[in-house]
Amino acid sequence: MTDAQHRRPTRRRRPSTAARVGGFLWRWLWIITAGVSVAGVFYGVQLDRVVRGKFEGQRWALPARVYARPLELYASRPLDPEQFQAELDRLNYHQVENAELPSSGTYQRVGDHFLLKTRTFQFWDGQEPARHLDVQLVDGRVARLTDADGGADPALVRLDAMLIASIYPTHNEDRILVRREDLPDLLVNTLIAVEDRNFHNHFGVDPRGILRAAYSNFQAGAVVEGASTLTQQLVKNFYLNADRTFQRKLKEAYMSLLLELRYSKNEILEAYANEIYLGQDGRRAIHGFALASSFFFNKSLNEIGIPETALLIGMVQAPSNLDPRRHPEAATTRRNLVLDLMVRDNVISAKDAAQAKTMPLGIAEGGGRPVGSYPDFISLVRRQLQRDYHDEDLRSEGLNIFTTLDPLVQATVERAVPKQLSALEKSHQMKPETLESAAVVTSVDQGEVLALVGGRKPGYAGFNRALDTVRSIGSLVKPAVYLTALAQPERYTLTSGISDSPVSLADGDKRWEPKNYDRRVNGTVRLADALARSLNLATVNLGLSVGVKKVAETLYQLGIQRKIRIVPSLLLGSVSMSPLEVAQMYQTLAANGYRAPLRAIREVVDAKGQPLNRYPLAIEAVIDPKAAYLTGWAMQGVVKRGTAKWLGEQLPDGMTMAGKTGTTDDMRDSWFAGFSGDKVAVVWLGRDDYKPMGLTGGTGALRVWAEFMLALANEPLSEFPPEGVVIADACGRTKIPYIGSAPRSQNCGSSDNNGDEPIKRRTARRNENGESSPESADADAEPVAESVAAPEPAPPPKPKPKPKPQVEENNTFMSDF
C-alpha cells in the first residue's frame, strides 16, 4: 500500500463564529426583505384600491343648492330701476363708477341707464354666456337692451340665478366644484410658487423640496414655504387625517406615489382646488378655492385679482389663524409675504405686488351664503322634493334645484305683511304682535309660486301658516257656487234674478238660519250683484238650487284635494283650507278654468348638469272656460262696487283686478283672494289662538293684499272673452258678457244702464224641496234689477271633467274641519 493510500483525509475547516453569524443574518435579511417586499406589494395593492376607489367615484358629498328664478331681461318687460339695482345687489354684482367695467359681475348705473357684465351660468337647458349689456329703463319698463360691445342685440337675457338655500351633508362640508380648465392661471401659478415649486417634476414626494423648504424657512425666520408636496397635502386631506405619526406620514408618501402614478398633474390640481379646507362659517366648513372666493369676497373665482388670490393661497397654511375676518393683521402679513413669493417666481411684477400691498383685504359680509332667508318657501320646496328624492340624496348628490321664487315679489310681500299688521293693530287698538298672517302669490298661467310668507316674521323658521294653518275660508267659497250656476247657461246668466230671502233648514233639534252680514233681506237681486255684495242668503238659495254636491264637485275641479262634507253650510265656507290650497282654487279661476298644479320647482339638475325632468308643467282644462270667465267678470264687481270697493279706488287707471273677501264667524279669520292678469294672491289674517279680532276680509286681509299687489308690476285682466262668450249690447251700454253666439240688443229700460242700476225687485218662492226658483216673482216686491238683460241660449258642450274624489254625503250642516 502506497503512502498516498495510507494518508488520512484532511478535515474541512469549520467557518468561524463570525462567519456563521453573518451568513445567518444575511439569509434572514433576504427573507425579511422578501417578506417586506411582498407585504409592501400587497399593502400597495390595498392602498391603490383605496386611492382609485375614492378618486374615481363620488369624491365628495355635495350639498343641494336651491336657486330662485333667474331675472329675464327683454324689451318692454316691466322693471323698476330700484328693483333692478336691488336684484343686481342680491346677486352680488359690484357697482363701479367707471364705465369700463373690470370684470363679470359688475355694473354701472347712471339714472335709469345700466351697463353691466353678466356672468356665465349653467341652467337646466344650457349655459347662459357672459355678456356686456346696455340696459335703458323708461317709465318702469325695459326700453332698450343692446350688446355694449357692438354685437348682435339679444332678444332675451337671463341673469345668473340667485342662491337662496343649501341642503348640506351631515358633516356640513360645503364646496363649489370647479374644473381644472376653469382655474385661473394666476391662482395655479401662485399655489405652485408658494406650496410646491417642483410640482411638475416630482412623483408625489420631493426630497429636494423638503431640503429647499427647510432652507427657505430658516432664512426667513418663519414658515414661508411648505415641505409637503401638493400631492401629499391632497392625500392627507382627502384620504387621511392630520395625525403627526410616522405611520401616517409613510402611508401618505406611499399613497402620493400611487396617486401620481395613476393620475395626471391636472387631475391632481383639480382635486386639490376643490378639497382644500379654507375656513369655517359657523358649523359649515368652507372647502375649495371657488367657495372660499365667494365666501370671503362675494366674487366668483374668475373675478378675483392679485391681492385676493394672494390672500387665498396664503390661507392654505393655517386657515383658522389666518382668517381675515378674525385676524386681519395676520392675514395681511401673510398675503404680503405671498406677494413677495409671486414676484420671486415671476408670477407678477414687483410693481403689481407693491400696488397690491396697498389694497385692503376686501372681505365682504355674508359672502358665499344663500342670499336672504326664505324658510317658508324652502319648506314648500322640500315637501315637493321629498315626493321624489330621499333625504340623503338631497344632502349628498350635489343637485341644483331651480325654483319659481321671484325675489322681487318675495321682498315686496315680506315688507308688506309686518307693516300692515302693525298698522292694523295700532288703528284697532290691539296689543303689538297680536295678529298673524300668511300670503301666497302665484302666476296665473303656469301656477308657479312666486312668493310665500308664513308669518309676520318672514325670515323666521317657525310655524308656516301658508302651508299648515287650516282655517275656515268663509266667503272665499262663494265664487265656486256662482261658477257652478253659470256653468248651466240655460238656467243662469250674470243678470238672472237670485232670491236673497230667509233660509231655515232643520239641523237635528235646531234650525240652520244663516243671515246676511248686515242682517238685511234684499228680495231678488241680480246674480252678479249677489256675488259682488257677498250676500249670504242669495248664495245659499243659489247653492241649494244648483245642488250642494255640485258645488263640492266644482271645488274638486278647481284643485281642492281634501275631503269636503256635503252640507248646506259649505255654501258659506264651512270648509277649512290652507292659504296655499286657496291659491290653487283661485289660480284655476284666474286661468279661465285651466288648472296648473301649484309648483315651487321648475327643474332639478344633477351634479353633472343633466336635467332630471321631474317637474314638467301640467295644465289641464277642468272648468268650462266660458263659465270661468263669467265668474271672473262678476268678481271684478267685488272690486268695483262690492265688498272690496276700497281696492278699486286704489287701482291706477287702466288696471283691472278681481277678487273676493272672506270673513268667518265672529271675525276669527279675515281673507282676501284675488288676481290680476298675471298674478294670483291670497292673504289670510287672524290670531293663532282663534280669538275674534274684529276685522273683516275687507278691513283686514285686503289691506295687506293691496299693500304688496299695488306695489308690484301687474298686467290688467284681459278684455277679450273666450270663444263662445259675447258681450250683451243692451242699448249699447251694459257690456255684460254671456254665453252665446252673437251679441243682441236688449230693452234695458234706461238710456245709460251700465249694469249697476236697480230696475225691479223680485222675490223667489221656495219649492217643496226647499230649493229656490229663480223664475218665480212677487208682484209686490220692491224694484231692483231686471232678471234678464242678455239672451239665454242653449248650453254649449261641457268639457269632460277630470275624475274627482268621492264626496261624502252628510245630513249635518257644520264641517268637521
List residues with catalytic annotation. Answer: 195, 475
Burial-class residue 136 by CB neighbours within 10 Å (0-12, 13-18, 19+): middle
Distance (Å, rounded) from C-alpha 23 to C-alpha 27?
6
Distance (Å, rounded) from C-alpha 133 to C-alpha 115?
6
Instruction: Tell me whether strands 173-175 and 284-287 are parallel, antiparallel or unpaired.
Output: parallel
CB atoms under 10 Å from CB of 478, counted, come to 30
Residues belonging to the chain: 817
Torsion sign across C-alpha atoms 557, 560, 565, 568:
negative
Chain CA centroid to CA 619, Å:
21
C-alpha cell at 716: 290688467
Distance (Å, rounded) from C-alpha 154 to C-alpha 11?
106
CB atoms under 10 Å from CB of 222, counted, come to 12
Torsion sign across C-alpha atoms 110, 112, 117, 118:
positive
Distance (Å, rounded) from C-alpha 738 to C-alpha 626?
8
Contacts for 448 with CB less than 8 Å, ≥ 6 apart: 69, 404, 442, 598, 599, 600, 602
Distance (Å, rounded) from C-alpha 286 to C-alpha 626?
57
C-alpha cell at 755: 249694469
Cα atoms in the 13 Å half-sphere on the side-chain side of 119: 20
Please check whether residue 239 is in contact with residue 57, taking contact to mean a CB–CB distance below 8 angstroms.
no
Residue by residue, DSSP assigns 654-722 as: T---EEEEEE-GGG-EEEEEEE-SSEEEEEEEE-TT----S--TTTTHHHHHHHHHTTS--PPPPS-PP
Please check whether residue 360 is in contact with residue 147, taking contact to mean a CB–CB distance below 8 angstroms.
no
Question: In the block, which residue shows the cell 350688446?
Answer: 147
Cα atoms in the 13 Å half-sphere on the side-chain side of 345: 19
> In sequence order, which ranges of 263-327 are alpha helices (DSSP H)?
265-275, 289-297, 306-315
CA dihedral of 123, 128, 132, 137, whole degrees rounded to 10: -60
Burial-class residue 666 by CB neighbours within 10 Å (0-12, 13-18, 19+): exposed
Q: Radius of gyration of the chain from Cα atoms? A: 38
Distance (Å, rounded) from C-alpha 309 to C-alpha 362?
11
CB atoms under 10 Å from CB of 145, counted, come to 19
C-alpha cell at 620: 289641464
Question: In the block, which residue shows the cell 283650507?
Answer: 577
CB atoms under 10 Å from CB of 252, counted, come to 21
Burial 533-563 (b: 16+ CB within 10 A, else e): bbbbbbbbbbbbbbebebbbbbbbbbbbeee
How far from 239 is each of 40, 175, 235, 271, 420, CA to CA, in Å?
19, 17, 5, 12, 56
CA dihedral of 579, 585, 588, 589, whole degrees rounded to 10: -100
Please check whether residue 116 is in contact with residue 106, taking contact to mean a CB–CB distance below 8 angstroms.
yes
Distance (Å, rounded) from C-alpha 719 to C-alpha 49?
70
Please check whether residue 428 is in contact with residue 91, taking contact to mean a CB–CB distance below 8 angstroms.
no
